Amino acid sequence: MNIIFVHLGRENLGIEYLSAVAKQAGHQVSLAIDPGLFGLNDNVFYIPVLERIFNQRTMVINKIEKSNPDLVAFSVYTGTYKWAVNIAREIKKKMEVKTVFGGYHVTLVPELVIQEKSIDFLIIGEGEEAFIELLEALESKRNPQKIGNLWYKTDGKIIKTPPRLPLKDLDCLPLPDKELFEKEINYQDDYLIMTSRGCPYNCSYCCESYYNRLYQRKFFRRRSVDSVLNELRVMKKRYNFREVMFNDSIFFTNLDWLKELLERYKSQIGVPFRCFGRVNAFSEEVAELLKWAGCYAIEFGIQTMNENLRRKVLNRPESNQDSHNAFKICDRYEISYDIDHMFGLPEEREEDHIYAAKVYVELKHLNRIKCHHLIYFPNLAITSLAERKGILSTSDIQLISAGEQRADFFHLSSVKDANWQRINKSYQTLYKFLPLLSPTQINFIFKHKLQRKLHRLPGAIVIFLQLLVAIRGKDYRFILYMKYYYWRIKRWIRCRLNLDQ
């Protein structure tokens, strides 16, 4: 069969694995992508005027038409769902073709998504096995009713097949199909890999907690060291990458596995890497291993320094002492670290932001503070909490479930109160250049309440200050961001010229 994946955003490992199993089964696969430059899904710049200029919706639709597919496949988040539906609707007007949707949003609210006329099939939860079986059923024109994890429509009825267990062994999957995104990603600069699936924790705001519920806490699994190193050896030979990003929710959950991996990684791969971590899973032994093997940065999800809020609202048991210990260890081993800090939490106070800033400004090897908005996803614990407290109305819940919430992680807040939005924006701005400040300077700012005016600071100045933060911390990632935009714009121009011809 001829399958085309349609995607809004950057590289997607889930799509790469689906493409890999499809190719392994002998199917033809292609990709139609809109990188979403300067839009809400762009994690660096949100500039609506430029978003309209660089919008690639027409090019995506044209590519789908030219590929003449047997199946159009979408993997969607809540934030990309409406974009995907609009593409599916347009394609259905132009040609007779089946569509299949999967991904987080589909798994969270399948009963709503299946009502959409432009969608023929849904794959719930983990998708590789169901996807391959669906391709086989479509190709042989047989009834797909025995395919687990599948919802579909026939003769006006909605058919829901029983759920299936997740894969027992992730090693059975082929290597992700990096070739699919080759024209969109410069793998030489940065290689993205997952060594596990799921997360052992249940943060109230994270979609992984829903998967833990769906699979009764059996969703978190880790690949073997052999499997991980085999992928890295093959891809290093192919792309000669300069660094690796381990994109697992938490990289160091198993010390024995980590030791074996890093001992072999250092000798067989030997390039710098970064990862995600959790402060209460971090230790001197982990830090020593990471530093020795070439880890130059860890991203810690802190979200708030209000310990009570973190525990009761976010369902994160880490203490502030856990955070202090992890930061001190990183400072001793000279490992840089990013801190994820979330704004818009239920019951947050301005004092929480002030206290966090006073903690963060003392940190020696803090690279940057990544500021995020709390985004409500359907059927998660924090969304239910916000509804009970009157923060979200029934109408809000409906908009969230339909993928129509006008908010995102990086640019638009879910907070309704305009004054609180301004306060949060002021502290977000402060946090973005806080690594440049000293404790004396931050105390002066707070004493004179200068932080309250920072929401007025022009975006260009904020970007310049972030550039200074990157230079101070020798942040290779910031250089890659700038390089990515240059490369994407250049590619957009080439595509437009080809389209016009």
Torsion sign over Cα 363, 364, 365, 368: positive
Lowest-confidence pick of 217-221, 298-302, 393-397, 481-485: 481-485
In the chain, pLDDT over 70 holds for what percent of residues? 99
Q: What is the pLDDT of residues 163-214, one digit of tens each?
A: 999 999 999 999 999 999 998 889 999 999 999 999 999 999 999 999 999 9
For the chain, give the mean pLDDT: 94
* Domain range summary for the chain, segments of one domain joined by +: 2-160
Token code pair at residue 486: 């240059």
Q: How confident is the model at residue 500 (pLDDT cuts 50, 70, 90)?
A: very low
The predicted structure's pLDDT at residue 501: 37
Quote the pLDDT of residue 402.
96
DSSP 8-state symbol, 364: S
What single DSSP character describes residue 167? Answer: P
Helix (H) / strand (E) element for 338: namely: strand 336-343
CB 473 within 8 A of CB 434: no
Q: What is the pTM of this model?
A: 0.94
pLDDT at 244 over 80: yes
- Assign a CATH topology to domain 2-160: Rossmann fold (3.40.50)
